[in-house]
Amino acid sequence: MSELILDNIDNNYVSVIPAAEHSTAAVEESHEHLKYTVETENLAVSFFGREAISDINIKYRSNTITAIIGPSGCGKSTFLRALNFMHDLTPGAIVSGTIKIHGKDISEYDMTDVRRRVGMVFQKPNPFPTMSIYENVVAGLTLHKRHKKSHLDETVEKSLMLAGLWEETKDRLKVSAMALSGGQQQRLCIARTLAINPEIILFDEPTSALDPMSTAKIEETLHILKKDYTIVIVTHNMQQASRVSDYTSFFFLGKLIEHSKTRTIFTSPKQKLTEEYVIGKFG
């Protein structure tokens, strides 16, 4: 696999393209497999007529982790929720622009299928309080369909293993999820997301309520998940962004100001605003 480099198509349009594909011949040949897991074109969201994000043009490839950084209220969660189609249920919310999955507009997919492809983990661990650990993991699977017990057992083990929680819970799967610590609950929520077999996993400040040890465990999990998924993570923690991500997007006042390799964003960003934010001049 060639080294990934960034290609600025225009001011606010960023994509990540393998370096070898820059020769003209290679571009045509590679067109077919040059697919992004998810991309947005002119994505905008407003609430009761007030714009929260606009002109968001971005593409994500699989096996990458992208961090989204920016001050409070700049639209990070709004963007993530748009990618997870959550605004359909938000009063006063209007979403415009395009979201594509594997190059195809989401309107061309069955909505249930699209929803399955995108998983989300929130800031505050939110296991279902009346369910056991086991039931929590398979909650998304058993909602609409009956499955063989052997399939569910297998999914529970696999998902908890990937989320780094299997060893701590394998002997007490029938215990209430509320018996777990905050960090364990967050890993349980990750396992629940993995169980539906998504391709893209969106994390909205998944460790901001956790202690350093639990945070380290989740960051370790992110590295493992990267092998199979496309990951986008919102974080206020600059060290976390630089530790875990390959790419970083800086949002400010509802706009994507800059998207680049994480190293570039933190050492030599193009925009003055990005530099001021990452060195802590405001935020």
Residues near ligand ATP (CB under 6 A): 47, 52, 70, 72-78, 90, 92
d(CA 107, CA 101): 10
Smallest gap, in angstroms, from Cβ of residue 78 to ligand ATP? 3
Q: Which is nearer to ligand ATP, 44 or 201 (CB)?
A: 44
Query: Which residue matches tokens 């819970």?
Result: 169
Cβ 234 vs Cβ 206: under 8 Å: no
Smallest gap, in angstroms, from Cβ of residue 157 to ligand ATP? 34
Q: Between the CA of residue 22 and those of 63, 119, 250, what are the distances in Å? A: 20, 32, 26
Residue 166 contact partner, candidates Mg ion, ligand ATP, none, CB within 5 to 8 A by sort of partner: none
Residues that bind Mg ion (CB under 5 A): 77
Residues contacting residue 247 through CB under 8 Å, at least 6 positions apart? 6, 16, 64, 65, 66, 67, 259, 260, 261, 262
How many CB atoms lie under 10 A from the CB of residue 131? Answer: 16
Q: Which is nearer to ligand ATP, 44 or 137 (CB)?
A: 44
Task: Tokens for 184, please give them.
Answer: 């364990």
Closest residue (Cβ) to Mg ion? 77
Q: What are phi and psi of 258, to 5 degrees?
A: -155, 140
Smallest gap, in angstroms, from Cβ of residue 45 to ligand ATP? 8
Q: Which is nearer to Mg ion, 77 or 249 (CB)?
A: 77
Query: Which residue matches tokens 């956790």?
Result: 210
Smallest gap, in angstroms, from Cβ of residue 238 to Mg ion? 16
Residue 96 contact partner, candidates ligand ATP, Mg ion, none, CB within 5 to 8 A by sort of partner: none
Q: Which is nearer to Mg ion, 36 or 203 (CB)?
A: 203
Smallest gap, in angstroms, from Cβ of residue 96 to ligand ATP? 15
Q: Which is nearer to ligand ATP, 79 or 134 (CB)?
A: 79
Q: What are phi and psi of 43, to 5 degrees?
A: -70, 130
Q: Which is nearer to ligand ATP, 47 or 128 (CB)?
A: 47
Residue 72 contact partner, candidates ligand ATP, Mg ion, none, CB within 5 to 8 A by sort of partner: ligand ATP
Task: Tokens for 208, please give them.
Answer: 């901001």
* 44 sits in which H/E element: strand 38-47
Residue 119 contact partner, candidates Mg ion, ligand ATP, none, CB within 5 to 8 A by sort of partner: none
Residue 103 contact partner, candidates Mg ion, ligand ATP, none, CB within 5 to 8 A by sort of partner: none
Smallest gap, in angstroms, from Cβ of residue 105 to ligand ATP? 24
Q: Which is nearer to ligand ATP, 70 or 269 (CB)?
A: 70
Smallest gap, in angstroms, from Cβ of residue 41 to ligand ATP? 19
d(CA 164, CA 191): 9
Handedness of CA 45, 51, 54, 60 (dihedral sign): negative
Q: For residue 58, give the 3-state DSSP assignment.
A: strand
